[in-house]
Amino acid sequence: MQTDLSRKLGIEHAIFGFTPFPAVAAAISRAGGFGVLGAVRYTAPDELARDLDWMQEHVGDRPYGLDVVMPAKKVEGVSEADVEAMIPEGHREFVKDTLGKHGVPELAEGEASGWRITGWMEQVARNQLDVAFDYPIKLLANALGSPPADVIQRAHENDVLVAALAGSARHARKHAEAGIDIVVAQGYEAGGHTGEIASMVLTPEAVEAVAPLPVLAAGGIGSGEQIAAAFALGAQGVWLGSLWLTTTEADMHSRALTEKLLAAGSGDTVRSRALTGKPARQLRTEWTDAWDDPAGPGTLPMPLQGLLVAEAVSRIQKYEVQALLGTPVGQIVGRMNSERSVQAVFDDLTSGFERAIDRVNRIAGRD
């Protein structure tokens, strides 16, 4: 699975694996792909440094990257406390009532929420970058589009390529104009924040819009045959995220959640604003149903929603409240029906890719 981009980065397979788990990211790189560690959950620079130290020890000489969440436009003088103060009391009551309805216990006294969407705040992301550029990362990806111009310049000065996610050809063109190096065309099927255009439509549109910049196809990809299809549409690689959630290296901290993922079908996800305030594909649960119910107060814009539900999500996860327990995941969850190592996933992807190429060669009369 070689392309010009994979050869440039020195990887065996043009498979880019996004994950919040260092062990998974390292395993992806060791398997011949390109592991990308998600940084949004790191609120303290020393925590990120600790895991990047671990990555350095476990990837060998293989390349890897970092994914941050930062807006292209800077917002000055706004603290987390300032944002918290904007949350309406009625929404806080709705959270309290919903948790009470399902008997979700409180956190222990003094126990802090283990899940906070603070990485969206520019200063948090910049602190992460101050750490990251001390390590030999080869790629910086931004989940909220093009990063600020000075960040792109800083990355390039450190010989780091910059990637940005796009949900439309228009977004892709804006990224190209901003000077990024790789566009990740993320289709509607993808887990997490995603737009409204399906991968089969979006990928060739993005390829045409930004040529000759390389495009990675994302969303609904979980087999070698689908990777071959992405290459046929002009992509120079694929960006996979959801597929790694049920690998043996993933540290989900919840057996119940892993089992829900393994049991879910491709129709068991929903694109909801319940988690962050922006449309994000995730498992459909009674939690997402409550927020999407017209009778409720409705979700708040990002980042208010993420801050509002942070403690609630921690409580739901800690006590494994089955009806409410969920996670961002794409429609490919329907194929995630067994726990396998990252290497086993790669073996399956490469063999499926070979089958697809053989099939096309037979159709074309080249065998």
- pLDDT-based confidence at 19, cuts 50/70/90? very high
Say how far apart CA 315 and CA 326 lie, in whole Å.
Answer: 12
Across 275-303, average pLDDT? 94
- Please tell me the least confidently modeled range out of 74-78, 95-99, 338-342: 74-78
Can you state the percent helix, strand and coil of the chain, rounding each to 5?
Answer: 45, 15, 40
Read out DSSP for 247-259?
BTT---S-HHHHH
Q: What percent of the chain has pLDDT over 90?
A: 81
| Alpha helix stretches (DSSP H) within the chain | 4-9, 22-30, 45-58, 80-84, 89-101, 122-132, 149-157, 169-178, 199-210, 224-232, 255-263, 286-292, 304-318, 342-363
Q: Is the pLDDT of residue 86 over 80?
A: yes
CA–chain centroid gap for 51, Å, is 18
Give the pLDDT confidence score for residue 367 in this predicted structure: 72
User: What are the beta bridge partners of residue 36?
Assistant: 18, 65
Report whether 141 contacts 184 (CB < 8 A): yes
Which run of H or of E encompasses 271? strand 269-272
Instruction: Give me the amino acid identity at 363.
Output: I
Report whether 209 contacts 350 (CB < 8 A): no
Q: Is the pLDDT of residue 27 over 50?
A: yes
Say how far apart CA 94 and CA 103 lie, in whole Å.
Answer: 14
Residue 212 sits at φ, ψ, to 5 deg, of -95, 15
Q: Is the pLDDT of residue 43 over 90?
A: no
**The token pair that represents 307 in the structure block:** 């801050």
Say how far apart CA 338 and CA 180 lie, in whole Å.
Answer: 37
Q: What percent of the chain has pLDDT over 70?
A: 95
Give the pLDDT confidence score for residue 108 in this predicted structure: 85
Say how far apart CA 340 and CA 321 lie, in whole Å.
Answer: 25
Q: Is the pLDDT of residue 119 over 50?
A: no
pLDDT digits over 189-247, tens only? 999 999 999 999 999 999 999 999 999 999 999 999 999 999 999 999 999 999 999 99
Read out DSSP for 49-60?
HHHHHHHHHHST
Q: Which residue has the higher pLDDT, 41 or 33?
A: 33
Say how far apart CA 67 and CA 72 lie, in whole Å.
Answer: 15
- pLDDT-based confidence at 21, cuts 50/70/90? very high
**The token pair that represents 176 in the structure block:** 């190209």
Torsion of CA 206, 235, 349, 332, to 10 degrees: 10
Torsion of CA 145, 149, 152, 158, to 10 degrees: -160
Across 3-9, average pLDDT? 97
Q: Is the pLDDT of residue 41 over 90?
A: no
